[in-house]
């Protein structure tokens, strides 16, 4: 599950893609012009950007150039009708991680998002293995010592975030922002409840609470 910024000015396409990605378990914030996208990119908790190159008010290529000049490594999937070889090369040379030409298939977009996210985290495999835990983000499955473990959608998302960022402390706010979009209400103790349920199913020692800071899963030494 990822926190995705979608910058797309076509209302029909934006609504469809946003809904489809949400149904696949992602949190999606959708903006329709380059100025709004630039403001939204100030959010440090984004996991990926889906960027239309032909945005009004500020061109997508300018946004991409500025993002990389600022040293930000946010994975960027360019989604555009500009399908000439020259334009693809220009986007990739400016720092895009991958490229999808409209019309597109939702599952291909999702697969490409997972792939560029894995590259950012330095993972080659699609599944995340941690000791005897095996989490498959694509299939939305989890097993422990070969036994399937059932997690709710938000529980799965919290565990995936913590396993993806092993060794880093994620604040409650960061976890909340990965679960909820701008227009969704957040229950005050939602993250604590999800972590409580995960601990009941996987053991209380998996997730550590760093008081006053957040939560972490210790990175395993090789």
User: Contact 68/78 with Cβ under 8 angstroms?
Assistant: no
For position 186, what pLDDT does the model report? Answer: 57
Judge if 83 and 152 occupy the same domain.
no
**Which range of residues forms the domain containing residue 114?**
3-121
Judge if 48 and 148 occupy the same domain.
no
Low-confidence ranges of the chain (pLDDT < 70): 82-84, 122-125, 181-188, 222
Q: Examine the fold and report which residue of 95, 121, 147 is the final residue of a domain before the chain moves on.
A: 121
pTM value?
0.69
For residue 222, being part of any structural domain is answered with no
For residue 221, being part of any structural domain is answered with no
For position 124, what pLDDT does the model report? Answer: 60
For residue 107, being part of any structural domain is answered with yes
User: Contact 58/31 with Cβ under 8 angstroms?
Assistant: no
Integer Cα distance of 46 and 177 in angstroms:
9
**What are 181's two structure tokens?**
């979009």
Other Cβ atoms within 10 Å of 212 Cβ, number: 6
Query: How many domains is the chain built from?
Result: 2
For residue 165, being part of any structural domain is answered with yes
For position 36, what pLDDT does the model report? Answer: 96
Q: Examine the fold and report which residue of 69, 98, 121 is the final residue of a domain before the chain moves on.
A: 121
Judge if 115 and 136 occupy the same domain.
no
For position 66, what pLDDT does the model report? Answer: 93
Other Cβ atoms within 10 Å of 79 Cβ, number: 25
For position 7, what pLDDT does the model report? Answer: 97
């Amino acid at each position: 599950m990822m926190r995705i910024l979608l910058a797309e000015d076509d209302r029909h396409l934006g609504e469809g893609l946003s809904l489809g990605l949400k149904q696949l378990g992602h949190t999606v914030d959708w903006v329709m012009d380059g100025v709004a996208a630039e403001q939204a990119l100030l959010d440090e908790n984004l996991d990926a950007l889906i960027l239309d190159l032909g945005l009004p008010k500020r061109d997508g290529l300018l946004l991409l150039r500025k993002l990389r000049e600022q040293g930000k490594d946010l994975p960027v999937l360019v989604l555009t009708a500009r399908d000439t070889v020259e334009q693809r090369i220009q986007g990739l040379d400016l720092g895009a991680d991958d490229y999808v030409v409209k019309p597109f298939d939702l599952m291909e977009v999702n697969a490409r998002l997972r792939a560029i996210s894995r590259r950012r985290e330095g993972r080659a495999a699609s599944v995340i293995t941690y000791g005897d835990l095996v989490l498959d983000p694509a299939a939305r499955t989890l097993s422990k010592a070969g036994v399937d473990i059932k997690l709710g959608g938000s529980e799965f998302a919290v565990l995936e975030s913590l396993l993806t960022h092993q060794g880093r402390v994620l604040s409650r706010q960061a976890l909340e922002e990965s679960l909820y979009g701008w227009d969704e209400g957040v229950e005050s103790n939602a993250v604590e409840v999800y972590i409580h349920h995960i601990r009941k199913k996987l053991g209380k020692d998996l997730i550590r609470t760093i008081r006053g800071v957040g939560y972490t899963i210790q990175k395993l030494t090789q």
